[in-house]
Amino acid sequence: MNIYEFINNHLILSVGLILSFFLLIFNELKIKQQHIASIEPFKAVKLINSGANIIDIRNPEAFKRGHIVNSKNMSQDQVNAKQGNLKSRTTIIICDTGQSSSKLVNSLRSSGTENIFGISGGILGWTEANMPLVTKNK
């Protein structure tokens, strides 16, 4: 029995196998794209020490409760408006859980900004990695 005869006799099985193969490749490419734009807190520290900008897109109240040192609090609209300025320097965007920052990072990357990253897990991932936050207790 040759391959052509097998495919002819088991058409549904063959199509299912080929479809599964393409879905697997698509899923792996999607995961790879997300991991490039998302970095672990320890990698973020290396970028910060190298002079990266940090933009916190959480609301101002959450930002005041605790934020990464030297980070700037901006809304997503403000970040989009300053997209041209982000191309000149590595930038890290952080939110509460990493979801909003991931969407924003992917949007900015698709618009041509390559040196922009989000932190995996957002500020929660940052604190779970025992990284420090600036807090102002009055």
The two structure tokens encoding residue 136:
């102002």
User: Is 82:106 a contact under the CB 8 Å cutoff?
Assistant: no
Q: Locate tokens 């590595």: which residue?
A: 90
The two structure tokens encoding residue 124:
């929660």
User: Is 58:123 a contact under the CB 8 Å cutoff?
Assistant: yes
Q: Locate tokens 């102002």: which residue?
A: 136
The two beta strands, 38-39 and 72-73, are unpaired
What pLDDT digit, counting tens, does each position of 31-90 carry?
666 657 889 999 999 999 999 999 999 999 999 999 999 999 999 999 999 888 888 889
- How far apart, in whole angstroms, are the C-alpha atoms of residue 8 and residue 33? 37
* ∠ CA 134-85-73, rounded to 5°: 25
- How far apart, in whole angstroms, are the C-alpha atoms of residue 122 and residue 99? 8
pTM score:
0.73
Structure confidence at residue 4 (pLDDT): 86
User: Is 30:108 a contact under the CB 8 Å cutoff?
Assistant: no
pLDDT at 94 over 80: yes
pLDDT at 93 over 50: yes
pLDDT at 138 over 80: no
